[in-house]
């Protein structure tokens, strides 16, 4: 990878953290459980997004009003996220590195499974300028969120980088970030490359047999500039 055309970044857990308590998360899961229970689906909503998606698929197959129920479900989730975004904090070292990359002309795209309102509020609360990012892709901007390739492919189109030979770096803290990046390369209509960088320790435990999804590991943000330099060497 001689030159990185753009850096794609996850938000929650990678750049900043939404402050969501266990009690608030459990209350949201129970609200979702009650909503879907009214339509014959009893789930624990762990994980939340994936369970909402699969439950809506079941309702669609049954001929139930999945669109209306989906709007209610995502409103419940939006409320949780926006409350957490109101107290968002920047991950250690992220602001310095992001400002350096932005100042040097790096193209950056923020790709989040959070809703658009929560993304905007989290950036505002944390003091990060949305202008740092050439594009922002939220859950509300796609039909299928990560690990589906759609969010990464959408960011590529927004940056006009869905082109032969484009080189992208994906930085995230979850296995779904890595899966989305790899799936985008596999389904892109042109040959391109994406190097994946995992940030933090939790992802090591989650990868299991999928360790090959990650090209580089960073203990924290201060490791990332050197890793990027190494990729471009």
User: For 165-193, how does the pLDDT look when each residue is reduced to its tens digit (9 = 90+)?
Assistant: 999 999 999 999 999 999 999 999 999 99
Say which CATH number the domain at 199 has: 3.40.50.1000
Q: What digits encode the pLDDT tens for the residues 37-52?
A: 999 999 999 999 999 9
Has residue 1 been placed in a domain?
no
Confidence of residue 205 (pLDDT cuts 50, 70, 90): confident
Same-domain status, 132 and 26 = no
81 within some domain = yes
The Cα–Cα gap between 179 and 214 comes to 9
- The pLDDT of residue 210 is 94
Residues 104 and 214 in one domain: yes
Q: 47 with 55: CB under 8 angstroms?
A: no
Find out whether 199 and 14 touch, Cβ atoms under 8 Å. Answer: yes
- Same domain, yes or no, for 179 and 74? no
For residue 70, give the DSSP letter: H
| pLDDT tens per residue, range 137-147 | 999 999 999 99
Which residues are bridge partners to 221 per DSSP?
none
Distance, CA of 191 to CA of 184 (rounded, Å): 11
In this predicted structure, the answer to whether residue 92 has a pLDDT above a threshold of 80 is yes
Position 91 pLDDT exceeds 80: yes
Tell me, yes or no, whether 94 and 81 share the same domain: no
pLDDT of 201 above 90: no
Residue 2 predicted with pLDDT over 90: no
Q: Which residue range is the domain that position 115 belongs to? A: 6-16+89-232
Structural domain ending residue among the three candidates 85, 104, 125: 85
Confidence of residue 203 (pLDDT cuts 50, 70, 90): very high
Classify 232 as helix, strand or coil: helix
187 phi-psi bin (left φ>0, alpha ψ -120 to 50, beta other): alpha
Q: What's the pLDDT score for residue 178?
A: 98
For the chain, the domain total comes to 2
**Model confidence, pTM:** 0.95
Residues 101, 56 within the same domain: no
Q: Quick one: which of 216, 219, 220 has its CA closest to 230?
A: 216
Q: Compute the distance between CA of residue 206 and CA of residue 13 in angstroms, rounded to an integer.
A: 14
Same domain, 142 and 98: yes
């Amino acid at each position: 990878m001689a030159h990185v055309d753009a850096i794609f970044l996850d938000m929650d857990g990678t750049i900043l953290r939404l402050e969501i308590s266990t009690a608030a998360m459990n209350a949201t899961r129970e609200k979702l459980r009650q909503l879907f229970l009214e339509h014959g689906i009893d789930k624990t909503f762990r994980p939340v997004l994936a369970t909402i998606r699969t439950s809506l698929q079941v309702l669609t197959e049954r001929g139930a009003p999945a669109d209306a129920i989906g709007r209610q479900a995502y409103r419940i989730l939006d409320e949780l996220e926006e409350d957490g975004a109101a107290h968002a904090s920047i991950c250690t070292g992220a602001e310095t590195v992001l400002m350096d990359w932005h100042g040097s002309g790096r193209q950056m795209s923020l790709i989040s499974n959070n809703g658009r309102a929560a993304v905007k509020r989290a950036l505002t609360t944390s003091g990060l300028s949305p202008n740092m990012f050439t594009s922002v892709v939220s859950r509300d901007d796609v039909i299928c969120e990560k690990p589906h390739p759609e969010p990464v492919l959408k960011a590529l189109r927004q940056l006009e980088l869905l082109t032969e030979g484009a080189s992208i770096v994906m930085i995230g803290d979850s296995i779904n970030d890595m899966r989305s990046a790899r799936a985008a390369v596999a389904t892109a209509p042109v040959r391109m490359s994406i190097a994946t960088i995992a940030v933090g320790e939790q992802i090591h435990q989650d990868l299991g047999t999928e360790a090959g999804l990650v090209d580089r590991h960073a203990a924290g943000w201060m490791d990332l500039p050197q890793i990027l330099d190494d990729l471009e060497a």
